[in-house]
């Protein structure tokens, strides 16, 4: 695992320190050039001071990303190639997918699994309030209650983690593997001003250059200290051990693209291809559109706030694996 990439991951932790006393600040207020520059300089200083400490013993440290969505989920278009490329760029060697189940596919048999380009792929689903990683296909099985679903997965050697803890603070499921102690989407849901701004194509165009210059810092602006999650995790661990995991909830579905439509119209779409609005091209500054060599129907602008690389770098779960497992993950 690259310690440089681990330092980049600490961008989000730096943002959390700024508000660690439960003083919540909307991400919108952090999306200012001088603030993003300050975060960037602080991370660079941390990287310069970082000293790698060799790990002794039979275990190797591996960075994993859980709660990752791909094209199998209805709200993502991420291809496996770009997700693996993002994993390589962020020092991730284990990807644990959690697709939204659907009738037209089996997330276990058709989902991403095996080792590809040195990255271990584990199929799973976001189902009935859990991140589930079964060892067999559960397609067509009636899940019953949350406790029954967890029992079914766990009895066959699978893993179950409570997902979106903010919606399930009263759950007391026996025999769990653990719970999410951070969820990117849950963090994002609190950013009311930022969410409102993201509905404005003109605002996205306005901040595009700043976001492109500081992509990770802009993404990490959403991070708040997860005090509610950590408090609930402490309560559950007082009852029984619960493994805490970070949930990337990576979708790659926040942003905007502009296509050249007939009549010199700008067709503004979201990353999933849904039409947001149509505007005359003349209303969009030429400085943000790339029309050189383009023809009707071509894409003139794209800004992705949550590309896979940013999502996977934002948080991670670190695993200690034996030499035997390490060999089989390469």
Q: Which of 12-26, 252-266, 314-328 has the lowest mean pLDDT?
A: 12-26
CA–CA separation, 160 and 147 (whole Å) = 10
Nearest to 134 by CA among 179, 180, 101: 101
Residue 255 per-residue DSSP state: E
End-to-end C-alpha distance for the chain, whole angstroms: 12
CA–CA separation, 47 and 8 (whole Å) = 8
CA 138 to chain centre: 25
Give domain limits for the chain: 3-51+61-254+309-328, 257-302
138-169, pLDDT tens digit by residue?
A: 998 876 899 999 999 999 999 999 999 999 99
Put simply, whether the predicted model's pTM sits higher than 0.85 gets the answer: yes
299-316, pLDDT tens digit by residue?
A: 999 999 999 999 999 999
Confidence category of residue 326, pLDDT binned at 50, 70, 90: low
CATH node for 3-51+61-254+309-328: 3.20.20
CA-CA-CA-CA torsion sign (142, 146, 147, 152): positive
**DSSP secondary structure of 98-151:** -BPPBTTB-TTTTS--EEETTEEEE--EEETTEEEE-SS--TT----SHHHHHH
Nearest to 19 by CA among 165, 223, 229: 223
130 near 161, Cβ under 8 Å? yes
């Amino acid at each position: 695992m690259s310690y440089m990439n681990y330092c980049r991951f600490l961008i989000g932790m730096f943002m959390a320190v700024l508000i660690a006393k439960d003083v919540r600040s909307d991400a919108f207020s952090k999306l200012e050039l001088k603030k993003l520059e300050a975060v960037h300089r602080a991370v660079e200083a941390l990287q310069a001071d970082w000293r790698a400490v060799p790990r002794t013993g039979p275990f190797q440290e591996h960075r994993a990303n859980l709660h990752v969505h791909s094209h199998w989920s209805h709200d993502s278009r991420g291809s496996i190639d770009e997700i693996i490329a993002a994993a390589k760029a962020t020092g991730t060697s284990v990807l644990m997918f959690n697709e939204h189940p659907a009738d037209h596919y089996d997330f276990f048999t058709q989902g991403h699994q095996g080792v590809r380009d040195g990255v271990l792929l584990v199929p799973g689903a976001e189902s009935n309030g859990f991140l589930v990683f079964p060892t067999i296909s559960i397609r067509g099985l009636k899940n019953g209650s949350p406790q029954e679903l967890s029992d079914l997965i766990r009895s066959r050697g699978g893993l179950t983690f409570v997902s979106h803890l903010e919606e399930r603070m009263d759950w007391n499921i026996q025999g769990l593997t653990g719970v999410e102690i951070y969820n990117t989407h849950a963090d994002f849901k609190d950013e009311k001003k930022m969410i409102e701004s993201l509905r404005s194509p003109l605002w996205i165009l306005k901040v595009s250059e700043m976001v492109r210059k500081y992509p990770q810092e802009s993404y990490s602006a959403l991070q708040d200290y997860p005090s509610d999650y950590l408090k609930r995790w402490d309560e559950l661990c007082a009852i029984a051990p619960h493994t805490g995991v970070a949930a990337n909830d990576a979708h790659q579905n926040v942003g905007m693209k502009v296509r050249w439509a007939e009549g010199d119209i700008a067709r503004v779409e979201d990353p999933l291809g849904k039409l947001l609005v149509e505007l005359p091209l003349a209303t969009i500054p030429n400085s943000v559109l790339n029309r050189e060599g383009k023809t009707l129907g071509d894409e003139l602008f794209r800004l992705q706030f949550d590309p896979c690389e940013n999502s996977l770098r934002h948080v991670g779960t670190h695993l200690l694996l034996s030499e035997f497992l390490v060999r089989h993950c390469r």
